[in-house]
């Protein structure tokens, strides 16, 4: 299951054409709540697994961007981790 929240929605919609037909259809047919879309994806082949990875990347990238904006110490922590 992948939760595509309102912050991730624009990026996920941009990504849709590159996803498999099954995942596109699931995304479009999943009801959008104020909290986002909850996609329950059955991984039945490598293409769908790649789609899941892409959607998880959208979550990670969006979270990183919002964290950096809201918490300036995030970049400091990342620098010290290196």
pLDDT class of 39 with cuts at 50, 70, 90: very high
pLDDT at 65: 73
Burial class (CB in 10 A: 0-12, 13-18, 19+), 17: exposed
Q: How many domains does the chain have?
A: 1
Per the structure, the complete domain to which residue 43 belongs is given by 2-81
Q: Which tens digit of pLDDT belongs to each residue from 47-75?
A: 999 999 999 999 999 877 765 444 444 44
């Amino acid at each position: 299951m992948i939760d595509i929240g309102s912050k991730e929605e624009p990026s996920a919609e941009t990504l849709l054409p590159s996803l498999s037909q099954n995942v596109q259809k699931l995304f479009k047919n999943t009801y959008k709540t104020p909290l986002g879309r909850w996609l329950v994806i059955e991984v039945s082949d490598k293409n769908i697994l790649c789609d899941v990875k892409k959607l998880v990347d959208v979550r990670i990238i969006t979270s990183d961007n919002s964290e950096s904006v809201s918490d300036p110490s995030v970049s400091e922590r990342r620098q010290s981790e290196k």
